[in-house]
Each structure stands twice: as C-alpha cells, then as structure tokens.
Amino acid sequence: MWHHQKKIRAYLYQGLLDSIQAGEQNGDAVRKRKSFPLPEIDKQHEMTNDLPREIIEETSIEVDPEDTSLHKNLNTEQRMAYDEILATVDRQRGGIFFVDGPGGTGKTFLYRALLATVRGQGKIVVATATSGVVASIMPGGRTAHSRFKIPLKIDDGAICSFTKQSGTAKLLQAASLIIWDEASMTKRQTVEALDKSVRDIMDRPDLPFGGRTVVFGGDFRQVLPVVRKGTRAQIVDASLRRSELWDCMRQLKLVRNMRAQNDPWFAEYLLRIGNGTEETNDDGEILLPRSICVANKTDDNGLDRLIDSIYQTGNASLIKDPRYITSRAILSTRNDCVDKINLKMIDRFQGEEMVYHSFDSVEDDPHNYYPPEYLNTLTPNGLPPHMLKLKINCPIILLRNIDPANGLCNGTRLVVRGFQKNAIDAEIVVRQHSGMRVFLPRIPLCPSDDDMFPFSFKRKQFPIRLSFAMTINKSQGQTIPNVGVYLPEPVFSHGQLYVALSRATATSNIKVLTGTHDENKQKNKKTTTCDTYTKGEKNMKSTTSGTYTKNIVYTEVLTK
C-alpha cells in the first residue's frame, strides 16, 4: 500500500482560474498566486488515434497484483456468482444480474475479483457505485452518476445525458461488463435511465440494457434512496425493487458475513437488526449488547469516552499513522454531530494548524438579504464547513469528483501534508492511488439539492471535510475495523442502525453511545429478549436492564 511511487499532481490550475474569474481581484493575491508553478496541461488523453478519453483511461487501469488472486479466496456463493457472470461475459450475449447480500457478505470483494479477471483478459469493464466512497474502493471505480451522466433531477422516463457519438457511449458499447454497486441506494429511475440510454446506443430497443452484461448489487436492508420529505411509501416506490427491470435481473445471493466471520453471534445479531426481526420493547426499540455500550452517565462526558475508546489521541505517533487513522471512524446520523466530533478531535490532534474560511455568497441578492455572517452558519449536506480547521497529518475526505481517473473522487480519503495560501498539499491514503500527493484547490460549491434553500447558495472552499467522524450514510460500503457510533438522538431512516453496526467486524471493536440512559425502560420490555442474550452473549446477565435504541426497517422493501 505504501510503496507506490509518490507523484505530485497539481490541481491548482482550475482553482486559480475559478478564483480569478470569481472576481477576487485583489492584485496582491493574484500576484502571489502567479508565483505558483502552473502545471503543463496534459492534452495527451483528449484524443489519441480517435479513441475517446473514456476508453483510453479505462484501458490504462493497472490491475492490482493483489486482486488477481482474489478469485482463489472466494467462498462457495461468491464462487458460483463469479463463475456465472464470467460465463455470461464469455458468451457475449448479455445478461442482467443482481448480487444480493447482507452487509459484509463480500459483494465488493466479488466485484474486485471480477474486475481483475476480466481486465486481465484485456477486456473493458466499467466499474461504478452509487456512492463515491464505494466507487473509490473498486479499481477504476466511478460514481454511477458521473460515469453514466445521469441527470441530478430525475423523473420517470428520464434518460442519461450522453449522446450516441460521445466517449461514454463508445465506452459502454465496448464494455464486456458493467458493474453498478449499491444499486439499492439509488432511485430506480436512475437505473431505468441507463437502461433506456444503453438500448438506444446499442440499437437494440427490445433488450434490457441493449443486451450488455450488467451486474448490479446491493442490500435493501441498508440505506435506501433519498427522497426529500418522502413518505415511507414514496421511498419504497423509489427503490430498484419496485422497477419493472427487477424481474429481468437474475438474483445471485451471498449469505456469509465475511466481515464478521470471526464473531458468528454478532453476524446473526446484525442480520436480525437488518431484517427487522430482532425483538423490540413496547417502544419498538431493540436492546444493544451490553459490551458495546459506552456508559452514558449524567456527567455529559459520554462523547469523550466514546472518542477515547476509538482513538488513542494521546499517542502522537500512532494518531499520525495513516493506517491507524483510516482503520477507525465515529459514525453519526447528522452532519452537525459529525462536525462536533471532528472539531473535538482536531483540537486534540497535535501539529501545525491552519484555518481556512469560506467565501459564501448568494446569486442575485442585490439587497444583501442574506449577509455573509448568516451564510457562514449554514452547513448543507455535501458541502465543507465555513471554518475548516486542519492540522498537518490530519485525515480528510474529498467531497467532489475532482479527477476520478487519478483517484480524486467524492469519498477519497487523504491526509494533510502541507498548507499553502490557496492550496492544500495532501496525500491519498487508500487503495489504488495510495501515496499520491496532490494539491487541492478552493472551488465554488453549491448544495446538490437545489430546493434546500429559497436562494442559490454558493460556498467557495476546499472541497473536503475532516474524517475522524462521518455520517452513517457516508460509511456505507466500508469495513471499519474500529468503529464508534454516536446516537444522541435515535436513527431516523430505514437501515441506518444496521449500516452503522454492520461496519464492524466483531462486538469487541464497536462502541455505541446513545442519547438516553434508559434502564427504566426495562418495565416495558418483552421478557423473551433477555433469553436471546443470555444464550448468545457472554457479557449479558439475566437482567432485563440495558440500552435500547430505535431500529427502523421497512420490511416491505425486503420482499417484493
């Protein structure tokens, strides 16, 4: 992981142009920026022998030697899925699959094995995922939205915005295999848009996905598509399971939790949480295993205790080790909780500090109804904070696709190595591009959801956040060997509790802090719950007290 040759790649150019165009015409600032060495613009990839950039990039992905032997380690169900998909790729007659497996059953592992094998045969594979985090786990992975040019606002009947002559169309025509992980998290209309567009570019309007081989995957126990202010019925209706395409997807089931394979009791417990079959009390809450709970006393230091159980902040050399820092995270439901933890952590972190403030503005606001002081208080989802406090060696996560082909996509994890006035020197610390040094620019950012505010909000800031803590939604798809879960308020959507708990590999490396100390709930509890624990878990006593928390499961989305 650490022996990749270090490269320096500058992303300043666009940032400089942006800031100059944005009218920041302070002569001094511009003069100083000019002193940065601008990189040569590399035009090599724009056109080579008329091959579109998309195909050149795809064919130049190096197969990770580690991944070429993954297929040898597949378990029985993974092996069956792998063989069936490879046989379909070989036959070249197309096929649509859905790899269905609970969290940790090795869906991404299977795709990595497939990617290595099919690319190793010199064929083209398009690897995508709904979230940037999971896309960055797969070599050459992109978010489905950016790869397939799916419109941000999507309704029934929508199509992708690439043309028949585009590089994207040529890539999809040339692909032997198309993978879309976490398809359970995306609205069915996005998959339907891809289907329509691929039928069109393949000139095969009657065949699903124009006769291509497409592998979808996901887990409907986990977070479902976001439907703003959506009712339960609307959210369920937006899921891929409710699409007419669902019936043409051959189901390939994975069943063995490989992530928690050393803790079978935990794996079973997780499955009951995900399926919504874990016993509940009269308030609909489930009992958490005592051993994973951080005591929530009235002294209000619960969060510090949770942090201490995940991060040894006192050990300066350990905390600066990227392997240490990326093998742990604290998860929470909301951005404000995540920001609170990140701020606590950065204060404890030792090292040279830098604070970058954003420039916030509203388009078309001549009367200044929205003063900067107000705008600075906003932290919409997916945007960096107004005040970005960083220290050398601290972990960060990228919030935008800056250069996906070179590993800089939404969800990439990096550590800060140096500060410039208008750039952050950072090092990628995960996967394929690990070890690569980059300069990140400030860029103008808008909330992805246009309806969030009654005005057009723009924030010019580095597109990053600290990543000591992250939202549960952002953690989906990751294995986090040491995970803390902070639930000052209960979860509020389907699958959130399951996603949070199922990032862990065993009860011994997860800690949960809930907001209410609820020993008094014992009087409501069904007595059967207690039996479940006395049989299974060493630390549970035959007492009815414990910590309860809400679990939301839309069971109707788990069955057709």
Ligand X SMILES: Nc1ncnc2c1ncn2[C@@H]1O[C@H](COP(=O)(O)OP(=O)(O)OP(=O)(O)O)[C@@H](O)[C@H]1O
Q: Which is nearer to ligand X, 239 or 296 (CB)?
A: 239
CB 540 within 8 A of CB 289: yes
326 scored as a contact of ligand X (CB under 6 A): no
Calpha distance 429→323 (Å, rounded): 8
DSSP-derived 3-state class of residue 286: strand
d(CA 558, CA 548): 24
411 lines the binding site for ligand X (CB under 6 A) = no
- Site map 46..85 versus ligand X, x via CB under 6 A: ---------------------------xxx--x-------
- Candidates 15, 302, 395, 477: give the one binding ligand X (CB under 6 A): 477
According to DSSP, residue 506 is labeled S
Q: Is 219 in the site for ligand X (CB under 6 A)?
A: yes
Tokens representing residue 547 in the block: 């910590």
Distance of CA 386 to the CA centre of its chain: 22
Q: CA–CA separation, 546 vs 526, rounded Å?
A: 13
Check residue 322 for interaction with ligand X (CB under 6 A).
Answer: no
Quote the least distance from Cβ 324 to ligand X, whole Å: 17
426 vs 483, which CB is nearer to ligand X? 483
* CA separation for the pair 109, 144 (Å, rounded): 18
Cα separation, 484 vs 144, whole angstroms: 29
Q: Whole-angstrom Cα distance, residue 452 to residue 461?
A: 19
Is 198 or 260 the residue whose CB approaches ligand X more closely? 260
DSSP calls for 16-78 = HHHHHHTT---HHHHHHHHTSPPPPP--TTTEETTEEHHHHHHHTPPPPHHHHTGGGG--HHH
Judged by CB under 6 A, the residue of 259, 465, 494, 511 near ligand X is 259
**284, 278 in Cβ contact below 8 A?**
no
In this complex, which beta carbon is closest to ligand X, that of residue 14 or of residue 73?
73
Q: What angle do CA 399, 404, 408 make, to 5 degrees?
A: 50
Kindly report the length of the chain. Answer: 560
Check residue 424 for interaction with ligand X (CB under 6 A): no
Concatenate the DSSP letters of all residues of 445-483 into one string: E--S-GGGSSS-EEEEE-SEEE-SEEEHHHHTT---SEE
What residue number has its CB nearest to ligand X?
106
Question: Is residue 104 a contact point for ligand X (CB under 6 A)?
Answer: yes
Which two structure tokens, joined as six digits, stand for 52? 């579109």
Q: Residues 33, 56, 98, 105: which binds ligand X (CB under 6 A)?
A: 105
Question: How many residues sit close enough to ligand X to count as binding (CB under 6 A)?
Answer: 18
Minimum distance from residue 193 beta carbon to ligand X (Å): 24
Give the nearer residue to ligand X in terms of CB position, either 502 or 551. 502
475 is an interface residue for ligand X by CB under 6 A: no
259 vs 459, beta carbon nearer ligand X: 259
Q: Name which of 102 and 211 has its Cβ closer to ligand X.
A: 102
273 membership: H or E segment, kind and range: helix 264-275
Q: For residue 8, what is the DSSP state?
A: E
Mask for 12-41, x = binds ligand X (CB under 6 A): ------------------------------
Shortest reach from residue 430's CB to ligand X, in Å: 13
- Closest to ligand X by CB, 14 or 508: 508
Q: CB-wise, 102 or 384, nearer to ligand X?
A: 102
CB of 109 to ligand X, least distance (A): 4
Q: Please report the DSSP string for 386-403 in residue order.
A: SEEEEETT-EEEE-S-SB
165: which strand partners?
none
Residue 132 touching ligand X (CB under 6 A): no
Among residues 168 and 505, whose Cβ is nearest to ligand X? 505
Structure tokens at 111: 């795709």
Q: Which is nearer to ligand X, 77 or 195 (CB)?
A: 77
Q: Is 139 in the site for ligand X (CB under 6 A)?
A: no
Supply the minimum distance, in Å, between the C-beta of residue 331 and ligand X: 13
Q: Is 484 in the site for ligand X (CB under 6 A)?
A: no
Question: Can you tell me the distance from the alpha carbon of 141 to that of 152, in angstroms, rounded to the nearest whole number?
Answer: 19
Span of 55-63, 97-105, 298-306, 489-497 interacting with ligand X by CB under 6 A: 97-105
Q: State the minimum distance, in angstroms, from the CB of residue 217 to ligand X.
A: 7
Q: Which of residues 492-511 bind ligand X (CB under 6 A)?
A: 502
CB of 222 to ligand X, least distance (A): 6
Q: Which of 56, 144, 258, 375 binds ligand X (CB under 6 A)?
A: 258
Indicate which single residue of 103, 167, 407, 490 sits in contact with ligand X (rule: CB under 6 A).
103
- Residue 109 binds ligand X (CB under 6 A): yes
Nearer to ligand X, 76 or 234 (CB): 76
3-class DSSP state of 228:
coil
Structure tokens at 152: 């941000």
Least Å distance, CB 220 to ligand X, is: 11
State the Cα–Cα distance between residues 96 and 199, nearest whole angstrom.
Answer: 13
12, 16, 67, 108: which one contacts ligand X (CB under 6 A)? 108
- Cβ distance to ligand X smaller for residue 75 or 532: 75
**If binding is defined by CB under 6 A, does position 398 make contact with ligand X?**
no
Q: Work out which of 15, 95, 106, 141 binds ligand X, going by CB under 6 A.
A: 106
Residue 107 is a binding residue for ligand X (CB under 6 A)? yes
**In what side-by-side order are the strands of the sheet with 469-471?**
469-471, 328-332, 482-487, 510-514
Whole-number Å distance between alpha carbons of 506 and 481: 9
Contact present, 492 and 371 (Cβ < 8 Å) = no
130 phi, psi to nearest 5 deg: -65, -40
Q: Which is nearer to ligand X, 67 or 360 (CB)?
A: 67
**Residue 457, strand partner residues:** 362
Binding interface with ligand X (CB under 6 A): 73-75, 78, 101, 103-109, 219, 258-259, 477, 479, 502
